[in-house]
Amino acid sequence: MILHFTKYQGTGNDFIIIDNRERLFDNLDVARLCHPKFGIGADGLMLLQNLEGFDFEMVYYNSDGKISSMCGNGGRCLVDFARRKGAFEGDKAHFRAVDGPHEALWSENMVELHMQDVLNINREGENHFILNTGSPHYVIFADHIDDIDIIKEGRAIRYNDTYKTEGINVNFVEVLGGRKIKVRTYERGVENETLSCGTGVTASAIALSRYMAIHAGDHDILVETPGGSLHVKYHLNNAATDIWLCGPATKVFEGTIDI
């Protein structure tokens, strides 16, 4: 069977996207398709599917072939793909992902994705935090994160006795001043550092509020990743609400592969 696919990237986080609204592809070898040597190569694969009551459904797989929790950059890329495929019109989308309903604002070269509220920001130490932004994240604030061996240090946490079964994403965050941070992420399911992680960027921006004791109110955090820049906007009170992950979603190429 010939599979038509489109390759997208959101600040270097890359995805294979397949239009599955006719439900033709339910048993894909996702790990092989995502393999950089034997397949197309990507951090993950997404299916665009129909779902009653929504513009579309997002089904996301990590590159290891397993159904994953929410992917922020993937969600933004899928919104752009869905808009160009006619799944919705105008600049507003309403879709469902594994963690529930999402809204998005679409414009040329930019997608703003509304994320789930974060009710708990758990402090594990002076500079360590755990929170869930649709995916579980461990956030560590440190200096000079470009000098950190992200794979070694990330794996040490992801595979420790606490997290080895379910896994956790590990983010290393450097405060650059004001409302600007730099983030590097070790992603479970990819089991490597990725150039960007949308839910990780979101978690890091929200954890900043506790690390820096930011006052309640509306905040806009600029986040630099190895793959580019993103903005995280949110309202802070006892929890983080009205969270938006904002950044580019770029089509790289499209093609076919014999599966």
Q: What is the pLDDT of residues 3-36, one digit of tens each?
A: 999 999 999 999 999 999 999 998 899 999 999 9
Average pLDDT over residues 101-112: 96
Q: Would you state the pLDDT for residue 82?
A: 98
pTM attached to this predicted model: 0.96
Query: In Å, what is the CA distance from 73 to each residue of 51, 112, 196, 210?
Result: 21, 10, 8, 24
* 101 plus 24 within the same structural domain: yes
Q: Would you state the pLDDT for residue 21?
A: 97
* 70 plus 143 within the same structural domain: no
Cβ proximity of 10 and 41 under 8 Å: no
* 73 plus 145 within the same structural domain: no
pLDDT at residue 125 tops 90 = no
* 71 plus 139 within the same structural domain: no
The tokens for 94 are 């309403």
217 confidence band (pLDDT: 50, 70, 90):
very high
Residue 17: which CATH number? Answer: 3.10.310.10
Q: Would you state the pLDDT for residue 109?
A: 86
* 126 plus 239 within the same structural domain: yes
Which residue range(s) make up the domain with 37? Answer: 2-113+249-258
Q: Would you state the pLDDT for residue 145?
A: 98
135 confidence band (pLDDT: 50, 70, 90):
very high
* 38 plus 151 within the same structural domain: no
* 128 plus 240 within the same structural domain: yes
Q: Would you state the pLDDT for residue 26?
A: 84
| C-alpha atoms less than 13 angstroms from C-alpha of 127 in its C-beta half-sphere | 9
* 127 plus 230 within the same structural domain: yes
Q: Would you state the pLDDT for residue 240?
A: 97
Cβ proximity of 173 and 167 under 8 Å: no
| 40-76: pLDDT as tens digits | 999 999 999 999 999 999 999 999 999 999 999 999 9
Q: Would you state the pLDDT for residue 177?
A: 87
Average pLDDT over residues 126-140: 97
Compute the distance between CA of residue 228 and CA of residue 202 in angstroms, rounded to an integer: 14
| 230-242: pLDDT as tens digits | 999 999 998 999 9
Catalytically active residues are 71, 197
* 236 plus 126 within the same structural domain: yes
Residues ≥6 apart with Cβ < 8 Å to 238: none
* 81 plus 109 within the same structural domain: yes
* 13 plus 106 within the same structural domain: yes
| 150-195: pLDDT as tens digits | 999 999 999 999 999 999 999 999 999 889 999 999 999 999 999 9
Residues ≥6 apart with Cβ < 8 Å to 237: 216
* 52 plus 152 within the same structural domain: no
Give how many domains the chain has, as a whole number.
2
